[in-house]
Structure 1
Amino acid sequence: MARQDLHGAAAPAHGPSPAEGDGIPRRFDVVVVGGGPAGATAAADLAGAGRSVLLLDKPGRIKPCGGAIPPRLIRDFAIPDHLLVARIRAARMIAPSGKEVDMPVGEGFVGMVDRKDFDPWLRQRAAEAGADLREAAFERVTRPADGTTLVHFTTGKGETLAHHTVQARLVIGADGATSPVGRAEVPGHDKMRQVFAYHEIVRVPQAGEAGAAAIGPTRCDVFYQGRHSPDFYSWIFPHGDTASIGTGSARKGFSLRSSIRALREQTGLADAETVRREGAPLPLKPLKRWDNGRDVLLAGDAAGVVAPASGEGIYYAMLGGRLAAEAAEGFLATGQVKALGLARRRFMRLHGRVFWILGMMQWVWYRSDGLRERFVSICRDKDVQQLTWDSYMNKELVRAKPAAHVRIFFKDLAHLFRWVSP
Structure 2
Amino acid sequence: MAQAAEEKIYDVVVVGGGPAGATAATDLARAGHSVLLLDKPGRIKPCGGAIPPRLIRDFAIPDALLVAKIRAARMVAPSGKTVDMPVGEGFVGMVDREHFDPWLRARAAEAGADLREAAYEGLERPDAGPPRVRFTTGKGADLARHAVRARLVIGADGACSPVGRAEVPGHDQMRQVFAYHEIVRVPRAGEAGDGAVEAARCDVYYQGRHSPDFYAWIFPHGETASIGTGSARKGFSLRSSIRALREATGLAEAETVRREGAPLPLKPLRRWDNGRDVLLAGDAAGVVAPASGEGIYYAMLGGRLSAEAADVFLRTGEAGALKLARRRFMRLHGRVFWVLGMMQWVWYRSDALRERFVSICRDKDVQRLTWDSYMNKELVRNRPVAHVRIFFKDLAHLFRWVSP
Report the TM range for the smaller structure's normalisation: over 0.9
- Which one of 377, 380, 383 corresponds to residue 395 of structure 1? 377
In structure 1, the partner of 2:174 is 192
In structure 2, the partner of 1:94 is 76
Measure the CA separation in 2 of the matches of 1:281 and 1:236.
19
List per-residue Cα deviations over 1:121-155 (Å, max 9, x = no partner).
00000000000000000011100132421101111
- Which one of 266, 278, 296 corresponds to residue 260 of structure 2? 278
5+ unaligned residues in a row in structure 1: which ranges?
1-16
- Which one of 119, 125, 128 corresponds to residue 143 of structure 1? 125
- Which one of 96, 100, 103 corresponds to residue 114 of structure 1? 96
In structure 2, the partner of 1:67 is 49
Please state whether the residue corresponding to 1:42 is helix, strand or coil: helix
2:25 partner amino acid:
A
In structure 2, the partner of 1:13 is none
Q: How high is the TM-score relative to the length of structure 2?
A: 0.98
Greater shift, 141-150 or 166-175, is seen at: 141-150
- Which one of 209, 229, 251 corresponds to residue 211 of structure 2? 229
- Which one of 335, 351, 370 corresponds to residue 333 of structure 2? 351
Measure the CA separation in 2 of the matches of 1:19 and 1:235.
52
Over the aligned positions, Cα root-mean-square deviation in angstroms equals: 1.1
In structure 1, the partner of 2:116 is 134
Question: Residues 172-191 of structure 1: matches in 2 within 5 Å?
Answer: 172-191=154-173
Q: How high is the TM-score relative to the length of structure 1?
A: 0.94
Measure the CA separation in 1 of the matches of 2:5 and 2:255.
47
Measure the CA separation in 2 of the matches of 1:147 and 1:325.
22
Question: Residues 273-352 of structure 1: matches in 2 within 5 Å?
Answer: 273-352=255-334
Measure the CA separation in 2 of the matches of 1:60 and 1:145.
34
Measure the CA separation in 1 of the matches of 2:132 and 2:195.
55
Structure 1 residue 212 displacement after superposition: 1.6
In structure 2, the partner of 1:361 is 343
- Which one of 225, 239, 261 corresponds to residue 221 of structure 2? 239
Structure 1 residue 71 displacement after superposition: 0.0
In structure 2, the partner of 1:376 is 358
Aligned residues: 402
Please state whether the residue corresponding to 2:195 is helix, strand or coil: helix
1:121 partner amino acid:
W
Measure the CA separation in 1 of the matches of 2:208 and 2:149.
50
1:196 partner amino acid:
F
In structure 2, the partner of 1:49 is 31
In structure 1, the partner of 2:138 is 156
List per-residue Cα deviations over 1:90-132 (Å, max 9, x = no partner).
0000000000000000000000000000000000000000000
Measure the CA separation in 1 of the matches of 2:132 and 2:314.
16
Measure the CA separation in 1 of the matches of 2:65 and 2:96.
8
- Is 2:360 aligned against 1:386? no
List per-residue Cα deviations over 1:49-88 (Å, max 9, x = no partner).
1100000000000000000000000000000000000000
1:207 partner amino acid:
A
Measure the CA separation in 2 of the matches of 1:223 and 1:210.
21
- Is 2:357 aligned against 1:408? no
Structure 1 residue 213 displacement after superposition: 1.6
Please state whether the residue corresponding to 1:214 is helix, strand or coil: coil
1:286 partner amino acid:
P
Measure the CA separation in 2 of the matches of 1:68 and 1:196.
18
List per-residue Cα deviations over 1:324-356 (Å, max 9, x = no partner).
000000000000000000000000000000000
- Is 2:16 aligned against 1:34? yes
Measure the CA separation in 2 of the matches of 1:145 and 1:242.
52
1:112 partner amino acid:
M
Measure the CA separation in 2 of the matches of 1:249 and 1:19.
49
Structure 1 residue 214 displacement after superposition: 1.3
Structure 1 residue 18 displacement after superposition: 12
Measure the CA separation in 2 of the matches of 1:280 and 1:260.
15
Measure the CA separation in 1 of the matches of 2:239 and 2:273.
35
Measure the CA separation in 1 of the matches of 2:252 and 2:361.
29
Measure the CA separation in 2 of the matches of 1:408 and 1:19.
64
Measure the CA separation in 2 of the matches of 1:387 and 1:18.
58
Structure 1 residue 322 displacement after superposition: 0.1
* Identical amino acids, percent of aligned pairs: 85
Measure the CA separation in 1 of the matches of 2:314 and 2:223.
45
Structure 1 residue 283 displacement after superposition: 0.1
